């Protein structure tokens, strides 16, 4: 196994462990020690890769956003009608919720009391909302 693959596997194990623990126990109640233990690494490895728990949260948010973008990217064509696109968006939301829903829901609740989560969600949610709003405005202008 190459060092690059081992690093990626380690990062993914840490992110998977964090996602699970954040979903079950919440961000505030999850320690870096617990994440490292669940991932099968020592805590120093976690700190080397992410600096701190907020770094793990940021990387987790980026991973969720990247996965959602990958799923949505090839899904739409300019020739699709508005109804087909809206149904496809609903399907994607269900897929996203089944993969990251527990975590996303927990983070949304925790955002009210944890500034790091509120900041992270403040970066990702508006861009998605703005893209959807722009798309719907375009459809409305076209009379759909």
Averaged pLDDT score across all residues of the chain? 82
* Model confidence, pTM: 0.72
Task: Identify the pLDDT of residue 70.
Answer: 73
| Sequence-separated (6 or more) residues with CB below 8 Å from residue 51 | none
**pLDDT tens by residue, 27-59:** 999 999 999 999 999 999 999 999 999 999 999
**Run of H or E including 138:** helix 115-141
Distance CA 16, CA 103 (A): 11
Q: What is the DSSP string of 124-136?
A: HHHHHHHHHHHHH
Q: Report DSSP state, residue 30.
A: -
């Amino acid at each position: 196994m190459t060092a690059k693959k081992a690093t990626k596997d380690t990062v993914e194990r840490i992110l998977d462990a964090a996602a699970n623990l954040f979903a079950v126990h919440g961000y505030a109640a999850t320690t870096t020690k617990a994440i490292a233990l669940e991932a099968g690494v020592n805590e120093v490895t976690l700190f080397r890769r992410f600096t701190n728990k907020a770094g793990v949260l940021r990387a987790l948010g980026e991973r969720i956003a990247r996965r959602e973008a990958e799923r949505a990217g090839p899904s739409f064509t300019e020739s699709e009608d508005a109804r087909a696109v809206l149904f496809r968006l609903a399907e994607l939301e269900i897929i996203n919720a089944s993969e990251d829903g527990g975590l996303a829901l927990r983070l949304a609740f925790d955002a009210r009391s944890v500034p790091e989560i509120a900041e992270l969600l403040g970066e990702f949610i508006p861009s998605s909302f703005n893209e959807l709003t722009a798309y719907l405005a375009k459809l409305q202008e076209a009379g759909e």
